[in-house]
Amino acid sequence: MPNAPDLYQLQNVSKVFHLDGVDVQALRGIDLSIREGEFIVLLGASGSGKSTLLNLLGGLDRPSGGMIHYGQKMLSTFDDAQLTRFRREELGFVFQSYNLASSLTAIENVRLATEIVVDPIPAKEALEMVGMLDRMNHFPSQLSGGEQQRVAIARAIAKRPKVLLCDEPTGALDVGTGVRVLSVIQEIHQRIRPTIVIISHNAVIGEIADRVCYMSDGKIIRDESNTQRRLASELQW
């Protein structure tokens, strides 16, 4: 996306958590621009600040210092109601733990998301995109981890989000299943071109991205474009 406009601009963003009288500096002076339609993998060891950064991009939390622009808007000063609206209208989230409602079937889980937006992808179409249409009437407990994650991806993208944020989407999966989930995310990027940020501690996953950022101790220590992008189906770890 070399000519696309910036979607996010972060300037000197910091985050401090106060816990039991101790200050934990989770982010230290992050400068980062993310272009519309870009596919970024953010890598780093456990505790390096990846989830904290993703939560700021997703409006789940606010920075302690610095500025975050989303388009022309100053996301870092949004109040709770503005953040809720922002998440609802602009974002899809995928977490390591799937977070499906256990009492609802696959298609009912996806419909929860399609009901709250103006122009959703129909739930069946979203399930078809992730290869789960034939399992649409099954409950999460009747699905494997990888299948639940594909339903969670269908739910996230059915909103036609501008941004898809994924926190360790393959963290709980074996290699083969993880590769299948990453293939689904890669296909979605091809088909509907959302901006995608995946965070992972697994460096191999960086091979499928346009751009790979490395975090250490609350900072971005490397930021590289990936000239040799691979298909997720070719990955091994």
**Residues with Cβ < 8 Å from 142, sequence gap 6 or more?**
135
Q: How far is the CB of 87 from ligand ADP (least distance, A)?
A: 18
Distance CA 1, CA 113 (A): 28
Site residue total, Mg ion (CB under 5 A): 1
- With CB cut-offs between 5 and 8 Å by kind, which of ligand ADP, Mg ion, none does residue 237 bind? none
- Of the chain, the end-to-end C-alpha distance in Å amounts to 28
Whole-angstrom Cα distance, residue 216 to residue 230? 25
Q: Of 35-43, 48-56, 62-70, 207-215, which segment contacts Mg ion by CB under 5 A?
A: 48-56
Does residue 170 belong to the site contacting ligand ADP (CB under 6 A)? Answer: no
Nearer to ligand ADP among residue 42 and residue 110 (C-beta): 42
Q: Number of helices and strands (H, E) in the chain?
A: 6, 10
Measured CA to CA, the distance from residue 61 to residue 106 in angstroms comes to 29
Answer for the pair 112, 155: CB distance below 8 angstroms, yes or no.
yes
Does 66 contact ligand ADP by CB under 6 A?
no
Instruction: Retrieve residue 134's tokens.
Output: 């034939």
Residue whose beta carbon is closest to Mg ion: 51
Task: Pick between residue 50 and residue 135 the one whose CB is nearest to ligand ADP.
Answer: 50
**Up-side HSE of residue 106: CA atoms within 13 Å toward CB?**
27
- Residue 44 interface partner, choices ligand ADP, Mg ion, none, CB cut-off 5-8 Å depending on type: ligand ADP
Q: 40, 41, 51, 164: which one contacts Mg ion (CB under 5 A)? A: 51
- Residue from 4, 5, 17, 103 in contact with ligand ADP (CB under 6 A): 17
Stretch that binds Mg ion, among 47-55, 96-104, 172-180, 182-190 (CB under 5 A): 47-55
Instruction: Tell me: does residue 48 bind ligand ADP (CB under 6 A).
Output: yes
Q: Please answer whether residues 222 and 32 qualify as being in contact, where contact means their C-beta atoms are separated by less than 8 angstroms.
A: no
Query: In whole angstroms, how close is the CB of 202 to ligand ADP at the nearest point?
Result: 12
Q: Which of 3, 46, 102, 227 binds ligand ADP (CB under 6 A)?
A: 46
Residue from 50, 135, 180, 211 touching ligand ADP (CB under 6 A): that is 50
Query: What distance in Å separates the CA atoms of residue 108 and residue 43, rounded to the nearest whole number?
Result: 33
What lies within 8 Å, CB to CB, of 206 at 6+ separation is 41, 43, 200, 212, 226
Contact 233/179 with Cβ under 8 angstroms?
yes
CB of 2 to Mg ion, least distance (A): 29
> Interface residues with Mg ion (CB under 5 A)?
51
> Interface residues with ligand ADP (CB under 6 A)?
17, 19, 24, 26, 44, 46-52
